[in-house]
Structure 1
Amino acid sequence: MNKNNRVLFLCTGNYYRSRYAEEVFNHRAGLEGLDWLSFSRAVAESLSPENVGPISRYALEALQAKGIAPAGAARHPVLCTFDDFAGAELVIALKDAEHRPMVERRFAGVAHRVQYWDVDDIEYLDPPTALARIDEQVGLLIGRLQMRAR
């Protein structure tokens, strides 16, 4: 996996926020002609048995409402590894207070590479608000990457 022009999105379970960010980023980057691709992983030590199916219905419904056919909708969550960090130029975790301790515990040697957004999980923030924040952050990220490419 070539790390050039790759973004790794991290959330706790790779089921809801990071999956949504991955799909929205890849869709928008494609529309913008931006030569970047994203993928997503779980930063928790183990996957949650509570997740029903491969991707959150909230993420899936929001993507479908935007006319985005999620390429990875059938893929089940995947735990992050050091190889995933090696395969990404940019690494973004969806919630600083939630994910920084996990990143620093599991990936101490590369934790300095992670940028953090501020998108709470479903227990603390309703899906429409959380997913709108991800849309906004993805838009800002794409804008920065376009500026870098010039």
Structure 2
Amino acid sequence: MNKTNRVLFLCTGNYYRSRYAEEIFNHQAVLEGLGWQAFSRGVAEDLLFPENVGPMSPYTVNALQAKGIVPEGAARDPVLCTVHDFAQAALVVALKDAEHRPMIERRFAGVAHRVEYWNVDDIEFLDPPTALSKIDELVGRLIGNLQSRER
């Protein structure tokens, strides 16, 4: 898949929100026949968070399974974002403006202008069902916008 049809989802640890957005996007894109694919990364300086047990958040896995989606990346450990990841994406979305913009501007000043910001709070500020439902809605809107572009 070339960069022209890839979207990169970013969150702090690439464990919960960005992984959910990636999986939901890829599932919906296939259902809609949209020629786009998502991948996700973490923007923190370091992805070692003691509270993150296993490769993907159980909230993410359980929410996907409840929708009948088998997460393709469930066994993949979180991945730290690099400048190369920006080069591989036509569209870059960070899940929380106030949380991620400072990290992105510090670590990726040269490409920070490319990021579109959503406002989905992390688990300590918003319960997972509400946050993941918000991601469902935003991903649905994004897919609709991409479909409009392709027409």
Whether TM-score is above 0.5 comes out as yes
SS class of match (2:8): strand
Provide the residue aligned with 2:30 in structure 1: 30
Q: Which residue of 2 aligns with 1:80?
A: 81
| 1:137-148 map, 5 Å | 137-148=138-149
Q: Which residue of 2 is the match for residue 131 of structure 1? A: 132
> In structure 2, what is the equivalent of residue 3 of structure 1?
3
AA paired with 1:29?
A
Kindly state the Cα deviation for residue 2 of structure 1 after the two structures are TM-superposed. 2.2
Q: Distance in 1 between matches of 2:113 and 2:49?
A: 30
Rounded to whole Å, the distance in 2 between the matches of 1:52 and 1:2 is 32
Alignment TM-score, normalising by the size of structure 1 = 0.99
Question: Would you say how many aligned residue pairs link Structure 1 and Structure 2?
Answer: 150
Deviation per residue, 1:2-61 (Å, 9 max, x gap): 211000000000000000000000000000000000000000010033210000000000
> 1-side partners of 2:68 and 2:32: how far apart?
16
Amino acid across the alignment from 2:16: Y
Pairwise CA RMSD of aligned residues?
0.7
Task: Give the Cα–Cα distance (whole angstroms) in 1 for the partners of residues 68 and 116 of structure 2.
Answer: 28
* Cα distance in 2, alignment partners of residues 48 and 120 from structure 1: 20
Q: Distance in 1 between matches of 2:49 and 2:4?
A: 33
1:21 maps to what in 2?
21
**2-side partners of 1:68 and 1:147: how far apart?**
25
Amino acid at match of 2:41: R
Separation in 2, partners of 1:145, 1:5: 9
SS in 2 for 1:8: strand
2-side partners of 1:119 and 1:107: how far apart? 21
**Structure 1 stretches of at least 4 aligned residues deviating more than 2 Å after TM superposition:** none
Q: Structure 1 unaligned runs (5+)?
A: none
SS at match of 2:7: strand
Query: Given residue 31 of structure 2, which amino acid in structure 1 is its aligned partner?
Result: L
TM-score, reference length from structure 2: 0.98
- Cα distance in 2 for residues equivalent to 1:13 and 1:72: 15
Match of 1:113 in 2: 114
Q: Look up the match of 2:47.
A: 47
Distance in 2 separating the partners of 1:48 and 1:84: 20
SS in 2 for 1:38: strand
User: Distance in 2 between the 1:31 and 1:111 partners?
Assistant: 31
